[in-house]
Amino acid sequence: MKKTAVVAIGGNAVNRPGEAPTAENMMKNLAETAKYLADMLEGWDIVITHGNGPQVGNLLLQQEAAKDLVPPFPLDVNDAQTQGSLGYMIALTLQNELMRRGKSRDVVAVVTRIVVDENDPAFQDPTKPVGPFYSEEEAKKLMESKGWNMVEDAGRGWRRVVPSPQPLDVVEKEVIKRLIEADKIVIAAGGGGIPVVREKDGTLKGVEAVIDKDRASALLAIELDVDMLIILTGVEKVYLNFGKPDQKALDKLTVEEAERYMKEGHFPRGSMGPKIEASVRFVRETGREALITDMAKLREALEGRTGTRIVR
């Protein structure tokens, strides 16, 4: 029996820093990403998750520029659009890479809804910046006309902020399980999934929010009962005092050590923090291991030669 893993690919897998966010560049980068994922498939069955923050931001920019011609869509619909487009690109490049290797596997992208609590405190304290920058005058008009929450962002202008609630349930989890059992490679919960709330009658309603992709990946890994959560990012290992002269690479972290270092401020909310938090949740609830490493080092990390493992 092959081992199973949820593999969360980071933003560099889709768009490199300073690179134009064109479809051509995204396809080129994902074709490179597909090689590392295809290598892993020799010994693992995987479910792939991915971010979509820059892509949603670009979509919001496009809609803002064309708002007088076409009404902008709500955020949950934009989440769905980018899940679909990125899921298509990942499926296309990975399936092509497997064909080049003489292997035939179906790669399936599932547009995934994630249930959140409408009473989550995040809805009262929106913190996640999305979309374009506005002048103060434009921001005030949008706050009045649309009821948006807007904040001034480090002297660069005003931006909309939206809630980032905790993910509670994956609506499509049983479908994803059946696809895995049928030997399909699944792409799911892209961009943290589409946030929905359950109404009193059991129906679902999309909400204006963005779920952290690492939190959603951990939840999916727990619900699918996989052997490992793997988070691929831009660094080979997790570090203490990252970027400082005394930075220290970590080969292994216990749950208790990880939580202590988080409290000490070693893992910022905007970078490594969510990855550590997601890993801790997965390990605590399953007793299994999580792995954080650079995509190019994935094979070595799976062999135990690099990367950072979070253990019980």
| Residues catalogued as catalytic | 11-12, 128, 213, 275
Rounded to the nearest angstrom, the gap between the alpha carbon of residue 96 and the centroid of all alpha carbons in its chain is 23
Query: For residue 130, what are the contacts with CB-CB under 8 A and spacing of at least 6?
Result: 53, 56, 57, 60, 75, 159, 160, 161, 162, 210
Q: At what angle do helices 213-224 and 173-181 cross, to 10 degrees?
A: 60
User: Please, where are the H alpha helices in 132-212?
Assistant: 136-146, 173-181
Question: What phi and psi, each to the nearest 5 degrees, are found at residue 218?
Answer: -65, -45
SS (H, E, C) 208-275: CCCCCHHHHHHHHHHHHCCCEEEEEECCCCEEECCCCCCCEEECEEEHHHHHHHHHCCCCCCCCCHHH
Provide DSSP, 274-296.
HHHHHHHHHHHHHS-EEEEEEGG
User: Terminal CA-to-CA distance of the chain, rounded, Å?
Assistant: 24
Euclidean distance between CA atoms 270 and 242, whole angstroms: 13
Q: Which residue(s) pair with 154 in the sheet?
A: none
Tell me the two tokens of residue 274: 């969510």
Residue 300: count other Cβ atoms within 10 Å of its Cβ.
Answer: 14
Category of 151 on φ-ψ map: left (φ > 0), alpha (ψ -120 to 50) or beta: beta
